[in-house]
Amino acid sequence: MEYFVQLLLGGLTRGSIYALIALGYTMVYGIIELINFAHGEIYMIGAFTALIVSSVLTLYGFNEFAILVLASLIAVIYSASYGFTVEKIAYKPLRSAPRLSPLISAIGMSIFLQNYVLLAQTSDFLPFPALIPEFNFLKNYEHVFSSSELVIVLTTVIVMTILTLLIKFTKIGKAMRATAQDKKMAMLVGINVNRIISVTFIIGSSLAAIGGILIASHIGQINFNIGFIAGIKAFTAAVLGGIGSIPGAVLGGFVLGWTESFATGYVSSDYEDVFAFALLVLILIFRPAGILSVKCEV
Site for another protein in 253-282 (CB under 8 A): 260-262, 264-265, 268-274, 276-278, 280-281
Window 160 to 189, contacts with another protein (CB under 8 A) = none
Q: Are 209 and 227 in contact (CB under 8 A)?
A: no
Cα(132)–Cα(242) distance, integer angstroms? 31
Cα(95)–Cα(85) distance, integer angstroms? 15
Cα(277)–Cα(297) distance, integer angstroms? 25
Q: Are 290 and 284 in contact (CB under 8 A)?
A: yes
Q: What is the DSSP letter of 31?
A: H
Asked if residue 43 binds another protein (CB under 8 A), the reply is no
Q: Which of 97, 154, 157, 165 binds another protein (CB under 8 A)?
A: 97
Element (H, E) at 160: helix 147-169
Asked if residue 31 binds another protein (CB under 8 A), the reply is no
Q: Which of 238, 216, 214, 237 is nearest to 225 (CA)?
A: 216
Q: How far is the CB of 119 from another protein (least distance, A)?
A: 6
Segment near another protein (CB under 8 A); pick from 42-50, 159-167, 179-187, 195-203:
42-50
The neighbour count for residue 211, using CB atoms within 10 Å, is 30
Q: How far is the CB of 181 from another protein (least distance, A)?
A: 17
Asked if residue 223 binds another protein (CB under 8 A), the reply is yes
Asked if residue 243 binds another protein (CB under 8 A), the reply is yes
Asked if residue 225 binds another protein (CB under 8 A), the reply is yes
Q: How far is the CB of 103 from another protein (least distance, A)?
A: 7
Asked if residue 218 binds another protein (CB under 8 A), the reply is yes
Instruction: Select 191 or 283, whichever has its Cβ closest to another protein.
Output: 283
Q: How far is the CB of 171 from another protein (least distance, A)?
A: 27
Asked if residue 155 binds another protein (CB under 8 A), the reply is no
Q: Are 27 and 160 in contact (CB under 8 A)?
A: no
Residue count (the chain)? 298
Q: Which of 21, 37, 83 is nearest to 234 (CA)?
A: 21
Q: How far is the CB of 31 from another protein (least distance, A)?
A: 14
Q: Are 20 and 214 in contact (CB under 8 A)?
A: yes
Asked if residue 73 binds another protein (CB under 8 A), the reply is no
Q: Give all strands (DSSP E) within the chain, no chain letters.
A: 126-127, 221-222
Q: Which of 73, 107, 154, 185 binds another protein (CB under 8 A)?
A: 107
Q: Are 253 and 13 in contact (CB under 8 A)?
A: no
Instruction: Select 109 or 175, whichever has its Cβ closest to another protein.
Output: 109
**What is the DSSP pairing of strand 126-127 with strand 221-222?**
antiparallel
Q: Which of 55, 164, 194, 198 binds another protein (CB under 8 A)?
A: 55
Name the amino acid, one letter, at 185.
M
Segment near another protein (CB under 8 A); pick from 159-167, 176-184, 188-196, 287-295:
287-295
Name the amino acid, one letter, at 55.
S
Asked if residue 232 binds another protein (CB under 8 A), the reply is yes
Window 3 to 22, contacts with another protein (CB under 8 A) = 3, 6-7, 9-11, 13-14, 17-18
Cα(25)–Cα(22) distance, integer angstroms? 5
Q: Which of 78, 153, 196, 201 binds another protein (CB under 8 A)?
A: 78
